[in-house]
Structure 1
């Protein structure tokens, strides 16, 4: 997001944390992360 959209690293981390904060990774059946980083940058931004 920093290079694509010109935001700071701290802002990018805050956006990622906000987007993924409510997900429960302990269930084991969520398939997350099977997209390229650019895809997630656009979705989160």
Structure 2
């Protein structure tokens, strides 16, 4: 269950960051990459 909570938090944070930097493709790609890295590190 904890992993699900962490995933939900990461999704929320990343979506917010992507929305905030919608005009910057580099930032959006960087945020998505960060999500994938964090997601792959979950148990």
TM-score class normalised by the smaller sequence: 0.3 to 0.5
Q: Which has the higher contact order (CA 8 A, sep 6+)?
A: 1
Give the structure-1-normalised TM-score. 0.32
Q: Please say which structure displays the higher CA radius of gyration.
A: 1
Give the structure-2-normalised TM-score. 0.32
